[in-house]
Structure 1
Amino acid sequence: MTIKTYQIAHLSILLGIFFLHTVANANPKISDQPITPFKLATFEANNSSKIGIAIQGKLLDLSAANRYVSKKFNLSDISIPDDMLSLIEQYHNLSHRLYQIANHFSEENYFSKNKHPFVFNPKNVSFKAPIKYPYNLLAAAANYKSHADEMSSPDQGRPSVLGIDIDNEGPHMFAKSPRSTIIDPGEPYYIADGVNIDWEAELAIIIGQPAYKVTLENAHDHVFGYSIIYDVSIRGGKNLEPLNKMIPGVNWFRGKSSDRAAPFGPYIVPKEFIKADDLRITTKVNGVTKQDGNSKDMIYNENYLIRFVTSVMTLYPGDIIATGTPDGVGAARKPPEFLKPGDLVEISIEGIGTLVTPMKSTE
């Protein structure tokens, strides 16, 4: 090989390396796999409602973050819905983009080194109920062994945990009207004079795709994620109208369906980022712990609940199943304890967040 030939070959190699380096820098890659955990929320900031993605303690306007990442990495143009229900319905086709967004902003100390107008401190925004409104809001009654035991009184129509065969006996379920009961995190529940109001912390299953007559084996496939529901419960009171005695037992409608009786949120965690069968669940009233349980103590777990409900009716994306509450409710205490105007209820579920609900008087 002559010196000139060698020089040409060497120059070609250098030019090739330079070209590859330039292409790599011009078109950086970003993973579309679920590497970085995130939560989703609906919030209000700058006088507009937004879907948020929570990463590293910050809350990002999802649509704006999508536009930023799409431009930076020359990604295909994907439109992000502006409401949570639509996002859940389209999640199968959008999840890879949310993974890309989360993975980009997961860099250590990213937010201290970079400033964007679409990044918010969660303390400075107004959280809304994540979904307004789902088609269905269903709830399981007495679905924790400890709570069933503390409330057990079969002679008064209250279920007993003794002898339950979960494979052949369905759970007790009731419905709450989504439009009448769901309220935002931080919004008050109004206590009428002479009515006993209790606390009940509940893990909420959010359905991700239509489900009808599902099996135990495929029930989880229909789940989108998990959130928090406060199942506000009326436990009687001196000013309640008496009911006739034609049908004995608990009147679930009056006890569970009052206006504003389902505070919801603030976050939804997609199922790929959380194991819902072992989560600590706590309730504090005015800073004092009243409930301290774990989702592993459910009598009917997620799969059984979904199988039972879908044996009766179709569930749709965004629908909610509240899975029951652990022990420690006020009605089971001796003497019974109930909420009063001025009280503050804080429900926390491990890996999801804290739902705060103040109590106020109707007057």
Structure 2
Amino acid sequence: MPVVTPLCLAARSKLGYLVRGMSTTSAAATKLIRFLDAYGNERIGQAPAPGTYQSQLITGKDVFGSKALTSQFAEVRRVLAPFVPTQIIGIGLNYRNHAKETNMPIPNYPVVFYKNINSVADPETSIVLPRREGSHVDYECELAVVLKAPCKDVSVQDALKFVAGYTNLTIETILNDVVVQRSNTKDMVFSVAELISQLSQDTTLPAGTVILTGTPEGVGFTRKPPLYLKPGDKVEIRIQHIGSLLNYVIGASSL
């Protein structure tokens, strides 16, 4: 059964842009977006103030490198995902109540799978239902963890040095303005630090690795009757203190 997981990587501004917190060479912290300007050039800049579409540009093209604000501005025509992942690692059955609703035992070790890096959708773009099995596509909200530096054989104690860690966050999915998933990251079986440590044993996780930490209870296929995505649906993910991500659903025939 296909599953659609809009990727809420960091935060989202009031303008609806997916943004990422960062430190600059100045004393103040800022938030950045990756976007296309009026000429189709890919840029990285500070998230515009509400009601405006001018982004103050930031030096460099690597979102994980050192950054500094410039005096230049560019018009934001299209917001992109914050970066292109080097790999996407998914974790299954990582919420206790989700395992319970699927009648599966709570795992003793992380259930690991991989996703195609080309499956990431930009903010407020369309989720295309597949031509095959398009009538059984589920929704899921997940906290995505982004590694800012390569890591290998990391201990649980040191794991959060490689990522901004979040604990006890409310996480929810809103389908057509109705809350269909609502939980808290404290229900996770394996914490963010434990996942990074486990996944980095005997292998190097490169910078830009995205770890999808699992979905909570409330998924569509466990409902009676099942609730699957259909063309015209609006899917929003919200994570406390981080932000939200909105996408729309279309059929493959609409392309």
Greater radius of gyration (CA): 1
Q: Which residue of 2 aligns with 1:118?
A: 73
Question: Secondary structure of 2:142's match?
Answer: strand
TM-fit CA distance, 1:199:
0.4
Q: Which residue of 1 aligns with 2:121?
A: 183
Contact 1:137-1:321 within 8 A present in 2 as well: yes
* 2:63 maps to amino acid: L
Q: What are the superposed Cα offsets for residues 291-320 of structure 1, whole Å, 9 maximum, x if unpaired?
A: 112222211111110011101521111110
Equivalent runs, 1:349-360 vs 2, <5 Å = 349-360=239-250
Equivalent runs, 1:88-107 vs 2, <5 Å = 88=64, 90-91=65-66, 94=67, 97=68
Equivalent runs, 1:50-61 vs 2, <5 Å = 50-54=43-47, 57=50, 61=55
Q: 1:41 aligns with which of 11, 33, 36?
A: 33
Q: Which residue of 2 aligns with 1:230?
A: none
Gaps of 5+ in 1: 1-29, 67-79, 102-115, 154-159, 224-270
Q: Which residue of 2 aligns with 1:198?
A: 138
TM-score normalised according to structure 2 size? 0.79
Identical columns (%): 31
Equivalent runs, 1:245-256 vs 2, <5 Å = none
Q: Which residue of 2 aligns with 1:172?
A: 111
When residues 335 and 215 of structure 1 are mapped into structure 2, their CA distance, relative to the original with a 3 A threshold, is: same
Bigger shift: 331-340 or 189-198?
189-198
Question: Secondary structure of 1:147's match?
Answer: helix
Contact 1:285-1:343 within 8 A present in 2 as well: yes
Q: Which residue of 2 aligns with 1:87?
A: 63
In 2, the alpha carbon distance for the partners of 1:330 and 1:138 equals 22
* 1:151 maps to amino acid: T
Contact 1:212-1:310 within 8 A present in 2 as well: yes
Bigger shift: 204-213 or 187-196?
187-196
Equivalent pairs, count: 226
Q: 2:79 aligns with which of 127, 136, 154?
A: 127
Contact 1:199-1:329 within 8 A present in 2 as well: yes
Contact 1:210-1:317 within 8 A present in 2 as well: yes
Q: CA RMSD in A?
A: 2.6
Q: What are the superposed Cα offsets for residues 151-188 of structure 1, whole Å, 9 maximum, x if unpaired?
A: 124xxxxxx12xx5xxxx42101001203x12212222
In 2, the alpha carbon distance for the partners of 1:360 and 1:31 equals 42
Q: Which residue of 1 aligns with 2:16?
A: none
In 1, the alpha carbon distance for the partners of 2:133 and 2:25 equals 57
Q: Which residue of 1 aligns with 2:91?
A: 140
Are 2:134 and 1:149 aligned? no
Greater RCO (Cα-Cα under 8 Å, separation 6 or more)? 2
In 2, the alpha carbon distance for the partners of 1:142 and 1:62 equals 41
Q: What are the superposed Cα offsets for residues 252-282 of structure 1, whole Å, 9 maximum, x if unpaired?
A: xxxxxxxxxxxxxxxxxxx3xxx51122211
TM-fit CA distance, 1:31:
8.5
Q: What are the superposed Cα offsets for residues 188-241 of structure 1, whole Å, 9 maximum, x if unpaired?
A: 222225430000111111101110110001101111xxxxxxxxxxxxxxxxxx
Q: Which residue of 2 aligns with 1:214?
A: 154
Gaps of 5+ in 2: 1-23
TM-fit CA distance, 1:44:
2.1
Question: Secondary structure of 2:179's match?
Answer: strand
Contact 2:33-2:46 within 8 A present in 1 as well: yes
Q: What are the superposed Cα offsets for residues 323-359 of structure 1, whole Å, 9 maximum, x if unpaired?
A: 1111111011122111111111111222332212211
Contact 2:63-2:83 within 8 A present in 1 as well: no
Question: Secondary structure of 1:220's match?
Answer: helix
TM-score normalised according to structure 1 size? 0.57
Question: Secondary structure of 1:306's match?
Answer: helix
Q: Which residue of 2 aligns with 1:17?
A: none
Contact 2:231-2:250 within 8 A present in 1 as well: yes
Q: What are the superposed Cα offsets for residues 116-154 of structure 1, whole Å, 9 maximum, x if unpaired?
A: 97276xxx642111112x22110110111111111124x
When residues 343 and 314 of structure 1 are mapped into structure 2, their CA distance, relative to the original with a 3 A threshold, is: same
| Higher helix residue share | 1
Q: 1:279 aligns with which of 152, 166, 169?
A: 169
Q: What are the superposed Cα offsets for residues 73-116 of structure 1, whole Å, 9 maximum, x if unpaired?
A: xxxxxxx212xxx230x23xx4xx46xx8xxxxxxxxxxxxxx9
Question: Secondary structure of 1:303's match?
Answer: helix
